Amino acid sequence: MLKPNVPAWFEIPARDVDRAQAFYQQLLGVSLTRTQINGADQAIFPYGGKPNTSGSVIRWDGVYEPSDRLGSIVYLHVDDIRPVLERVTQVGGEVLLPPQTLPDNIGSFAHIRDSEGNRVGLFSAN
């Protein structure tokens, strides 16, 4: 049975975890925690406790490769998408898709390319 909070964990591939950690910390104004698990170097996003989920930026040679065209897109939930998008280029990223409004006042989303070359989504209910 699928849990109501569908994502259990996410991993964003990185070639350089130091660079990726700095990118996301500056972009989102949060601190990521470094760890090594099963030979993978990771910087873990803040975790708000159950039932919330979290994830990491990860370098795991031979397992992951950053991409802006292949695979799934992770959407990071932010308070307000506008100031985050304003910081993207300042911290070494690129806006790939400007904000798009979702129907029924759900919110808006945008796509960015991070410091590692990944396409990552941003979502805001505002």
Domain ranges of the chain: 10-124
In tens, the pLDDT along 95-108 reads 999 999 999 999 99
Distance CA 65, CA 39 (A): 15
Indicate the pLDDT class of residue 78, thresholds 50, 70 and 90.
very high
CATH assignment of 10-124, given 3.30.530.20, 1.10.150.80, 3.10.180.10, 1.10.150.650? 3.10.180.10
Give the predicted TM-score (pTM) of the model: 0.91
Residue 112 CA: distances (Å) to CA of 17, 34, 46, 49, 126: 18, 23, 20, 27, 18
Whether residue 6 is predicted with pLDDT greater than 80 in this model: the reply is: no
